[in-house]
Chains A and B, each alone.
Chain A
Amino acid sequence: MLDVRHLRKVYSGHGRTVEAIGDLTFHVDAGEFVTVVGPSGCGKTTLLRCVAGLLPATSGEMSVDGRPVSGPPPGLAVVFQEYGRSLFPWLRVADNVALPLRQQKMSTVERRRRVHSALEAVGLRDSLEAFPWQLSGGMQQRVAIARAIAYEPRVLLMDEPFAAVDAQTRADLEDLVRTVWQQLRITMVFVTHDIDEAVYLGQRVVMLSRSPTHVVDELSVDLPDERDQLTTRSDPAFGALRAQVYAQIRAAKKVPAIDLGKATT
């Protein structure tokens, strides 16, 4: 479904070059929920922007649905970290959700139906007429999620979407994302720096090293599909997984990054 092979990204400009991503390879199956976790500043956002076709890779191949990524792939939606800046402040909530649909051929009735059901799904049925800046941060991010849902993507990329909301809102939004994924059965790639969040949400966790980034390890999360903030998080299995990821991330932070992929081949 989503394939990243030997992705490398070097930023250059202002007299210096920064190798953000060294050599990154991973694969996401159709319908899978993969979380990507790594230390701060490890090029997670760069990775996501490359996959979304927003940023050209320096080298390497990426494909979504078998098609190589050369621009934003159709059927791919993104939820950005900066919810306040990714919604159109001059459009009301319903219009924000409807705007991407205007590019697709569909009747006004169908469009309205999709907008309403998406906003209903995120619990914002009563805020259709509000402007985004009249809502709280958590609600704004819900609008952004509704916009992605209404788009009916096959792949949904989320870039640290809950990094800027408070802990309780965050828990609610995490459950919302799980529900959305279970109902729509879409492919999810969720980038975060929060280890607990990565384990709680994903079926699989991809751990990244610090820059220049490569994949340190991947871990299957063998927790039951029904997850709950209280019981899942107090499950000993959750603790064990969390500790495993934590150890890897800490190791990746300490040791200067060695390109393991190249060393073995």
Chain B
Amino acid sequence: MIRRLLYAFGLPVVLFAVWWFASAGSVDFYRPPLSAILRAFGETWIGPRLRAEVLPSLLRLGAGYALALVLGIGLGVLVGLSPRLRVAVEPVLEFLRAIPPPVLVPVLILFAGIGDLMKVLVVVSGCVWPILLNTVEGVRAIDPVLADTCKAYGIGGVDRLRHLVLRAASPQIVTGARQALSVGIILMVISEMFAASSGLGFTVVQFQRGFQIPEMWSGVLLLGLLGVLLSGLFRLVERRVLAWYHGQR
């Protein structure tokens, strides 16, 4: 246990220490000492900004991610179950997937304005692809013996969807969802750098423009920490959902 903690936190601690000492006497305006950044971190983020900037960001990310999950899994199951539909939509999917989502921001502003809706849609437009494509692959790879078992025993409809299709595809769906999560964090920040009035991305840009350099760095640090936290949360969920899968090997 202690050993595992040591392995998990060893490298971050070392990197932090290196940063701390290397930047200790820094007088460079753009590269302030870590001590200054940490001081700014406490002052900047612990307090009203948590509600005013961090929470809206997370809510938009959450909404976009959830919507992408529903859309991606729903469409993925449909496409994965029907070979004909797959042949028809695959080229279109590949085309849409190849569009970098940030490029959609100006387009989406035209249609969805500059409010929360636009930012949620940007997150969706990036997150949906890894989920969708992985779900299609997962559904296609359902074991034919299991499919026959369902057929022979008359297991159909919702039971088949719930107990065969979704569960069989779940390892792939989780893989897609994990990729989508990191894409989502990136897009959350990017969407807030355009025409925004709140959020983490907006705040970091504001600090940079106002030459509040330690504060800017502290925003970057916070984003990194959020990423770690969210992926930890993801791993907890994954361990529950895929207990059977990891137990098998």
Contacts and interface: CB of A to CB of B under 8 A. Distances in A.
Q: Do A and B come from one complex?
A: yes
A103 B143 contact: no
Contacts of A91: 163
A88 B164 contact: yes
B149 interface: yes
Contact of B155 (A53, A86, A100, A134): A100
Interface residues of B, number: 20
Contact of A78 (B152, B167, B244): B152
A103 B163 contact: no
A64 to B, nearest CB: 12
B152 A54 contact: yes
A188 B245 CA distance: 34
Contacts of B159: 99, 102-103
A181 interface: no
B182 to A, nearest CB: 26
A52 B152 contact: yes
**Which secondary structure dominates chain B's binding surface?**
helix
Interface residues of A, number: 27
Contact of B149 (A53, A80, A103): A80
Contacts of A218: none
Contact of B146 (A85, A131, A133): A85
Contact of B145 (A85, A90, A134): A85
Interface stretch (A69-77, A105-113, A233-241): A69-77
Contacts of B145: 80, 82, 85-86
Contacts of A103: 153-156, 159
B148 interface: yes
A151 interface: yes
A187 to B, nearest CB: 15
A72 B151 CA distance: 7
A247 to B, nearest CB: 34
Interface in B153-203: 153-156, 159, 163-164, 167, 170
Contacts of A99: 153, 155, 159, 163
A90 B153 contact: no
A98 to B, nearest CB: 10
B231 to A, nearest CB: 24
Nearest to A85: B145
Contact of B154 (A54, A100, A131): A100
Nearest to B154: A103
Nearest to A54: B148
B247 interface: yes
Interface in B197-249: 244-245, 247-248
A37 to B, nearest CB: 22
29 contacts: A53-B151, A54-B152, A71-B151, A72-B151, A76-B152, A77-B152, A78-B149, A78-B153, A80-B148, A86-B146, A86-B149, A88-B146, A88-B167, A89-B244, A89-B245, A90-B163, A90-B167, A90-B170, A99-B153, A99-B163, A100-B153, A100-B154, A100-B155, A102-B155, A103-B153, A103-B155, A103-B159, A133-B244, A134-B247
Interface of A: 49, 52-54, 71-72, 74, 76-78, 80, 82, 85-86, 88-91, 99-100, 102-103, 131, 133-134, 147, 151
Interface of B: 143, 145-146, 148-149, 151-156, 159, 163-164, 167, 170, 244-245, 247-248
Q: Which 5 A-B pairs have the closest CB atoms?
A: A100-B153, A85-B145, A90-B244, A78-B152, A90-B167
